[in-house]
Amino acid sequence: MSAVEVDFLSESALADPYPAYAHLRRDAPVYWDEASGAWLVTRYSDCVEVLRDSTRFTSDPARAGIPVPTTSYTLQTMDPPEHQGLRGLFTAAYRARDLDSLTAGLNAFAASRLTGLAGRGPVDLLDGYFKPLALHAIAELVGIPEAHRPAVALAAEAMAASMDGVFDKARQAAAISSRATLSGIVDRCMRAPGKHGIIAHVARHYREAGVERDVAVHSFRLLLSPGYMSVASAAANAFVTLQAHASRLIDWDEDIAVEELLRFSGPVQALGRMCRDDLDFHGFALRRGDLVLAMLGSANRDEDRFTDPDQLLLDRRPNPHVAFGWGVHSCLGALLAKVVIRTAIGRLERQFPNVALAGTPGYIDQAVVRCPETVPVHLEP
């Protein structure tokens, strides 16, 4: 590797991006990447600075002088103060859900799913278990009827793949139709909401919160897509990591261990912001409209923030990782994601104490959402 050269879509980086991150943190912590046309920020302190300072680094392209269609305005692409009412509406809707009931239902779903997979020979836990659990959890939370869930899954996977458009422009087109699909499903659910779910709450309260209906509808994309693919990827990464270290989640304090698994092998490797104005960032001249990528996967392995960052320490405390971002745009569904990971792996290890990988997983050719291609195991009672 040369002094300042990385290719996050190379075979070696897809298999293990962490040496490339360490290289950049050491030699080029603020790095102009020609392939993506973006500044890559790799140190923990710099990533936090970019993510929390919306006065310099905006999520709203219009504030950086880039025109966008109204359908692009969501919970993720609005900054304070406009963001606050929308975030408050979704936060209140989230808190109104009975998480204990959701967790109990998820446990029952997981047990049933595992029973159905047992005794079949090698099975792929990613498609057969982690993805169905993540889809069930987010659909139940949001209030998506069964009939719409397959379409949600397909669109969410396409959106996750399109996030790599920053490194490979050919992948950007997939996002357009998938965004429309998700917004269309939410729009239909908003017109006839059930009694439960975040959609029902938002449908009842968006006017009094001063939120435009279309913005609320489009914002659900930011729950459904990450709530499905990022959570499924997080669970798969966590299980593969535990297997690689000959560890079991249930042998540790599960809440603390899940935080470390997210730090060590989180699914989302980068979050983007844009410069609102020309600025000097640690000696580099950034221009208005420049894209800045906060490399979360690198920040979570920063030796200046974490002791022994490349070691998996399942009792690590404190653990201020940035797997779910930082600041006002931090992931709204972080708590549910942790519940899914804990439930998925805990139920698996209890139901099949000797579960083991039946092969070494490769990784999908995506640099932004990191996930194994398959998770092959034998499930024998």
Per-residue pLDDT of the chain (381 residues; tens, 9 = 90+): 345 678 888 889 999 999 999 999 999 999 999 888 999 999 999 999 999 999 999 999 999 998 888 777 888 888 988 889 999 999 999 998 888 999 999 999 999 999 999 987 789 999 999 999 999 999 999 999 999 999 999 999 988 888 776 776 666 666 778 888 999 999 999 998 888 899 999 999 999 999 999 999 999 998 999 899 999 999 999 999 999 999 999 999 999 999 999 999 999 999 999 999 999 999 999 999 999 999 999 999 999 999 999 999 999 999 999 999 998 889 988 999 999 999 999 999 999 999 999 988 999 988 899 999 999 998 987
Cβ neighbours of residue 64 closer than 8 Å, sequence gap 6 or more: 58, 274, 275, 276, 288, 289
- Give Cα 174 to chain centroid, integer Å: 18
Picking from 18, 21, 39, the residue whose alpha carbon sits closest to that of residue 30 is 39
Helix (H) or strand (E) holding 257: helix 254-265
pLDDT digits 0-9 by tens, 235-253: 999 999 999 999 999 999 9
Whole-model pTM: value is: 0.94
Q: Are 20 and 1 in contact (CB under 8 A)?
A: yes
Strand partners, 39: 32, 292
Strand partners, 38: 33, 291
Question: Three-state SS for 284?
Answer: strand
Cβ neighbours of residue 56 closer than 8 Å, sequence gap 6 or more: 275, 276, 277, 279
The CA distances from residue 328 to 52, 81, 291, in Å, are 7, 11, 19
How many Cα atoms are found within 13 Å in the side-chain-facing hemisphere of 294? Answer: 29
What is the spatial distance between Cα 291 and Cα 273, in angstroms, rounded to a whole number? 6
What are the counts of helices (DSSP H) followed by strands (DSSP E) for the chain?
A: 16, 10
Neighbours of 55 (CB within 10 A): 11
Neighbours of 89 (CB within 10 A): 23
**Token output for 25:** 């943190």
Question: Three-state SS for 79?
Answer: coil
| Bond prior to 318 in cis (omega within 30° of 0) | yes
**Token output for 270:** 């980068």
